[in-house]
Amino acid sequence: MERLSRLGPLIGKGASACVYQHPDRQEHVVKILRSRPHLFAQEEAVLRQLPDYPGLCQCLETVMIEDDGQSYPGFVFPVYGKLDLNTNYLNSIGSLQVVASATLALIVAHQRGIVHRDIKTENLMCLSDGTIVLIDFGSAGKAGEIKPRSGTPGYKAPEVLLGQAIDQRADIFSLGVVLYELIIEENPLFPQFEGNSPSDIRGNLRFFWNEVAQLGKPLDPLIKKMTAFEKEDRFRGAAETYLAIIRTLYLLNRRTRRS
């Protein structure tokens, strides 16, 4: 394992991780879990299970960072670009295309038994050729596990908030919120989606669905099914979700050609 005695500028900071520019390579970044280093082994195990797929982040190597007399393990990733929400994805068709690409990545991850658990707009990045990449598997785990603190408020599925076991359909819920957010540039579930009882959560979802209804068909039924309160009422998995998104794209494109 390579040892680094310095890091480049801080690029981003989350609840448990910091991302820095690699000190010697402009095309790479270093992610370290400075506040929660004990989670390194957990994330490393998940990353090792991910196949070499363009839509999934790829850990290039692990490193040890020496800083202030302490050592922190870290991951080296390629530099990914942020989605440019101001130019490319403000229309429904562009947003659906982004989410369709993310859904394909989820199909691959779910086939390995991995649930991402923290799907959100900030975790969808892109390559220079426009390929959408799903990043940050720090909260990921196996289906059936209970991790009530995993995920980001505003994107968490009801079963996560209720402390129940989750499966791949929790990712589908979060992706439905992302789709709506890409279209209208705001997340109406954040920060209100903090209810700790089924009635609170249902109330927040009713507010969200009322907002979704303003999009009309075919987006309204798609997003409502993706974000159903009961996971049994959502799409059964990422593959079924992808087919529904492609059908919605077809309907929107046909409407555009007619108008």
Q: How many CB atoms lie within 10 A of CB 45?
A: 12
Dihedral pair phi/psi, residue 204, rounded to 5°? -65, -40
Q: Clarify whether 118 is annotated catalytic.
A: yes
Q: Which of 52, 67, 84, 118 is catalytic?
A: 118
- The catalytic residues are 118
